């Protein structure tokens, strides 16, 4: 098992070395210095991973339909992934300037990426890059400290899944059609998904379980993990390189990517934990939004400060709580 995983880690490193493009808005980070943690990594690294809803190789004029924060622990090796529902209502610094109305302060969290990478019609205003504004938004609302960002467009999921020969997932509930009541798009139970179906599975908005889309994205990531760490991935390395090329922007230095892949090669499946903002902490509502002269659907906290408390526990390594054996 360890030998196979180390081989996979080395292969993944090759993929990243040839395919990751540096963000044009971020200066190259200095090479990390060796420390006491394993793989010469820092004690802890937090990475904001954003999946944009753009189907092409551009990174502005997009919302981030996938928002996940990776807490990577090099001292007690493991990774915890926090999923954030895209429609969560938050303060987004600077959007009042975008609309020319400083009383406008809030919108859905997935639009922070859009506001950071877009100019208003005929205007000169630009807050910062999309990834930077998303980092600032998470900091202002919930106190999250993000070290690095990684942005991918939606095409990478389809290509990645096809490159590894598809993924197997255990779907916990049936997913129904938005337009044809009663029609099942994905049945409950074991599913085998090619790239196109995997992309649809991760993004589909079943009216009966919008919040569960975050869970489906985690299920997909877990399926991709299992598919990559198999001997069958070896002949598909050219496909993996092609999948990543031009579809990712990150401020991670190559040495930091090496540390991450070194750590990954030493982890078992049980060392990676997927979690999310709990469903019972947020409620669905409609909010009047003046620029559109209409209402938008979003999720808000039931109790003020509850999400910030969860995020504090997450950063400290205390969330989700350990399961009793």
- How does pLDDT run across 21-50, given as a tens digit for each residue? 444 443 334 444 545 689 999 999 999 999
Residue 96 domain-assigned (yes or no): yes
Would you call 295 exposed, middle or buried from its count of C-beta atoms within 10 A (0-12, 13-18, 19+)? exposed
pLDDT confidence of residue 106? 95
pLDDT confidence of residue 15? 42
Mean pLDDT of 62-85: 92
Residue 48 domain-assigned (yes or no): yes
Q: Which helix (H) or strand (E) segment is 150 a member of?
A: strand 148-153
Number of domains in the chain: 1
Domain extent at residue 103: 2-154+234-308
Sorting pLDDT into bands at 50, 70 and 90, what band is 9? very low
- Identify the weakest region by mean pLDDT among 97-101, 165-169, 246-250, 259-263: 246-250
Cβ neighbours for 179, distance < 8 A, ≥ 6 positions apart: none
**Please, what is the average pLDDT of the chain?**
80
Q: Which residue has the higher pLDDT, 156 or 76?
A: 76
The first and second tokens of residue 57, run together, are: 């190789």
The pTM of the full predicted model, rounded to 2 decimals, is 0.82
Strands (DSSP E) found in 261-323: 272-276, 282-289, 294-301
Residue 322 domain-assigned (yes or no): no
Residues 66 and 50 sit within 8 Å (Cβ to Cβ):
yes
Whole-angstrom CA distances from 294 to 107, 184, 278, 298 are 13, 32, 28, 13
Sorting pLDDT into bands at 50, 70 and 90, what band is 248? confident
Sorting pLDDT into bands at 50, 70 and 90, what band is 73? very high
Residue 54 domain-assigned (yes or no): yes
Cα 270 from Cα 77, distance rounded (Å): 11
Any idea which residue has 């997009």 for tokens? 62
Sorting pLDDT into bands at 50, 70 and 90, what band is 224? confident
Residue 180 domain-assigned (yes or no): no
The Cα diameter of the chain in Å comes to: 60
CATH classification at residue 304 = 3.30.420.590
Residue 164 domain-assigned (yes or no): no
Residue 171 domain-assigned (yes or no): no
């Amino acid at each position: 098992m360890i030998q196979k995983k180390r081989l996979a880690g080395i292969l993944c490193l090759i993929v990243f070395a040839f395919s990751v493009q540096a963000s044009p808005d971020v200066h190259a980070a200095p090479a990390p210095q060796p420390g006491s943690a394993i793989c010469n990594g820092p004690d802890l690294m937090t990475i904001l991973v954003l999946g944009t809803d753009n189907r092409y190789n551009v990174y502005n004029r997009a919302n981030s339909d996938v928002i996940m924060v990776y807490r990577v622990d090099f001292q007690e090796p493991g990774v915890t992934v926090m999923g954030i529902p895209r429609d969560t209502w938050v303060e987004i610094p600077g959007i009042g300037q975008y609309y020319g109305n400083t009383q406008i302060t809030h919108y859905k969290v997935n639009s922070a990426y859009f506001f950071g990478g877009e100019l208003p019609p005929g205007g000169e205003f630009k807050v910062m890059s999309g990834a930077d504004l998303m980092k600032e938004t998470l900091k202002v609302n919930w106190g999250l400290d993000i070290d690095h960002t990684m942005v991918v467009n939606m095409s990478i999921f389809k290509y990645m899944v096809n490159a590894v020969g598809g993924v197997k997932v255990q779907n916990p509930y049936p997913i129904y059609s938005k337009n044809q009541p009663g029609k099942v798009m994905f049945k409950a139970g074991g599913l085998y998904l090619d790239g196109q179906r995997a992309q649809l599975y991760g993004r589909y908005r079943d009216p009966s379980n919008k919040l569960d889309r975050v869970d489906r994205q985690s299920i997909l990531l877990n399926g991709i993990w299992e598919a990559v760490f198999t001997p069958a991935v070896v002949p598909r390395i050219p496909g993996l390189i092609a999948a990543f090329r031009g579809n990712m922007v990150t401020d991670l230095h190559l040495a930091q990517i090496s540390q991450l892949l070194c750590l990954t090669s030493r982890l078992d499946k049980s060392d990676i934990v997927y979690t999310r903002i709990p469903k019972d902490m947020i409620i669905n509502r409609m909010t009047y939004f003046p620029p559109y002269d209409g209402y938008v659907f979003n999720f808000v906290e039931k109790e003020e400060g509850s999400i910030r408390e969860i995020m504090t526990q997450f950063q400290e390594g205390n969330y989700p709580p350990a399961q009793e054996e």
